[in-house]
Structures are given as C-alpha cells and as structure tokens.
C-alpha cells in the first residue's frame, strides 16, 4: 500500500532550536508539496518541487525555513531557528505526473515552546 511517510509524527522543541521534518514521497511521484496547517490560516502551501527542483517556495519565510530534496526518495523541511509561531501541523504530499492528484502524509505536529 503506497503512502507518503512523514517523520517525526510529533515534535516538541524549545524556541531557537533547529527542527528537521522528513518526507518520503510515493515511489514514482515527481511532485512534492509542503503545507502548513493552523487554525488561523488553514492550509498554506510553503513550497513545492517537481523532479526534485524547487518550483515555488514563495509561501515560505526565507530567513528561517528551507526545503530540499536530496534525492527522489527524501524531502526535508528545516526551520532554524524555530519560534513559537511556527507551531502547526506540517504536511507533505506527493503527486504523479500531470497534477491529477496529491497524496498526503499523516503530518508532523510541531510545538515550539
């Protein structure tokens, strides 16, 4: 059963610490999305990649956030330094060629204290 895998599922960290979230997209999918979900803002697109190249990261605070795809089986989202306002659920999703749909992981619930 192919699925998007995100690690960790939960993360509690202190303000100022670096946080790294990982995502394993579905094998063969060429598009990867990172979303952030909060009560206030809903689902915000942070960045997305196609064939491992970043296509759009305009939704991401550049001073502290970075997203990469070291290889086709791993996408990472880093926050350095983390702040309490970064507390949210971060979702990774992957999609096949043609943008016909996106499959979501279970999310990483981040709490910055």
Partner 1 sequence: AQSVTQLGSHVSVSEGALVLLRCNYSSSVPPYLFWYVQYPNQGLQLLLKYTSAATLVKGINGFEAEFKKSETSFHLTKPSAHMSDAAEYFCAVSGSGNTGKLIFGQGTTLQVKP
50 binds partner 1 (CB under 8 A): yes
With CB under 8 A as the contact rule, the residue among 27, 62, 63, 99 that binds partner 1 is: 99
Going along the chain, which residue ranges are E strands? 5-7, 10-13, 19-24, 31-38, 42-50, 53-56, 65-71, 74-79, 88-95, 103-104, 108-112
Rg (the chain; Cα; Å): 13
43 binds partner 1 (CB under 8 A): yes
20 binds partner 1 (CB under 8 A): no
Looking at residue 84, the DSSP 8-state letter turns out to be G
Torsion-angle region of residue 16: left (phi > 0), alpha (psi -120 to 50) or beta? left
Q: Which residues inside 51-80 make contact with partner 1, applying CB under 8 A?
A: 55-56
* 89/75 Cα distance (integer angstroms): 16
With CB under 8 A as the contact rule, the residue among 45, 54, 64, 74 that binds partner 1 is: 45
With CB under 8 A as the contact rule, the residue among 102, 110, 111, 113 that binds partner 1 is: 102
Query: Minimum distance between the CB of residue 40 and partner 1, rounded to whole angstroms?
Result: 10
What residue ranges bind partner 1 (CB under 8 A)?
Answer: 4, 33, 35, 42-43, 45, 48, 50, 55-56, 91, 93, 95, 97-107
């Amino acid at each position: 059963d192919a699925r998007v895998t995100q690690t960790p599922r939960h993360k509690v960290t202190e303000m100022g610490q670096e946080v790294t979230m990982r995502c394993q997209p579905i094998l063969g999918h060429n598009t990867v999305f990172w979303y952030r979900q909060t009560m206030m803002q809903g689902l915000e697109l942070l960045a997305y990649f196609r064939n491992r190249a970043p296509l759009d990261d305009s939704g991401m605070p550049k001073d502290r956030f970075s997203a990469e795809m070291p290889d086709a089986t791993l996408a990472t989202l880093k926050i350095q330094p983390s702040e309490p306002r970064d507390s949210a659920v971060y979702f990774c999703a992957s999609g096949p060629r043609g943008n016909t749909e996106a499959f979501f992981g279970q999310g990483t619930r981040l709490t910055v204290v």
